[in-house]
Amino acid sequence: MPPPLGEIYDGGLSIREGGVYANFVSSIDGIVALEGGAAASGGVISGRNETDRFVMGLLRAFADAVLVGAGTVRAEGGKALWTPDYIFPAAGEAFAALRRSLKRDTTPRLVIVTARGDLDPSQRALQVGALVLTTNAAAEQLRKALPEANEVRGVSDGDSIGVDQIFATLKAEGNETILTEGGPHLFGQLVAANRVDELFLTVSPKFVGQQGQSFGLIRGVDFGRTLKGGRLLSVRLADSYLFLRYQLDRSPSPSGGG
């Protein structure tokens, strides 16, 4: 990394070429998404902590593409962009230098997965442009609705989109090193398919509580008693926030697992 980034991160960081890694922020009680996933949860849970925002920008700076579900785009809405400098402008030049050294494009490609095609074309991220992966049934309508800056791909004949279909398209586009920022439904599918190499998890020193509308890191996937494993690679501490890095077990679940 360029020296300014190493100084802020308090050490070096490397991401394996071709790796798939995830980044989330969680409360102490394990909540990642608020209001049924319809709210812009990350900033609330993190309290917009500057170190957390820096780590988000740094992880984006390593990626060929940032992969998110449509629910995450709807929840963030408005003016949100999935670029390094948007989330932490103070390190924008250093992020750009890192991308040049990695021979990356100026900004990572935003890739949105949506089976229903439920996207608001007025959102800033869609004004700038994204690669939108959807079903063949929804593709034509999305092409008409979204700004020309977007590329819409129908990748499924059914009413859902499989993980293999997502990654086949990403690879064909030359996107090898992938960051996913959720949401919990998409992340659950990726973990269940053994597609995630590493997880970067910020634990915010806050409690959210739970009344059925808030939930944790994975949604819609049940591993039963065959739990998924991970190995802790590093721990950093800043302002009572924990910054954890895990290597996830990508071995197939034994027969009879959830």
- Report residue 252's pLDDT band, with 50, 70 and 90 as the boundaries: low
CB atoms within 10 A of CB 19: 16
The residue with tokens 């074309």 is 121
Residue 110: per-residue pLDDT: 98
Total-model pTM: 0.93
What pLDDT score does 253 carry? Answer: 54
| Closest alpha carbon to 1 in 84, 99, 83, 89 | 99
CB atoms near residue 188 (< 10 Å): 19
Query: What gap in Å lies between CA 46 and CA 184, rounded to an integer?
Result: 17
Q: Is the pLDDT of residue 81 over 50?
A: yes
Q: Which of 18, 21, 30 is nearest to 58 (CA)?
A: 21
Q: Please give the average per-residue pLDDT across 213-239, as a whole number.
A: 91
Asked whether the beta carbons of 231 and 211 are under 8 A apart, the reply is no
DSSP 3-state of 181:
coil
CA triple 100-13-51, angle to 5 deg: 95
The C-alpha torsion from 180 through 250 and 244 to 100, rounded to 10°, is -50
Best CA proximity match to 2, nearest among 105, 12, 69, 224: 12
Domains contained in the chain, CATH given: 19-248 (3.40.430.10)
| Each residue's pLDDT tens digit, 18-55 | 999 999 999 999 999 998 888 888 999 999 999 999 99
How is residue 142 written in tokens? 């999305």
Contact in structure between 83 and 125 (CB atoms under 8 Å): no
**251 CB neighbour count, 10 Å cutoff:** 9
- CA 160, CA 158: separation in Å to the nearest integer? 6
Average pLDDT over residues 177-200: 96
pLDDT digits (tens, 9 = 90+) for 119-154: 999 999 999 999 999 999 999 999 999 999 999 999
Alpha-helix runs per DSSP H in the chain: 3-9, 41-46, 50-62, 70-76, 84-87, 92-101, 124-128, 136-145, 163-172, 184-192
Q: What is the pLDDT of residue 82?
A: 97
Question: Cβ(126)–Cβ(150) under 8 Å?
Answer: yes
Average pLDDT, the chain: 93
**Cα 180–Cα 183–Cα 187 angle in degrees, nearest 5:** 60
CB 200 within 8 A of CB 23: yes
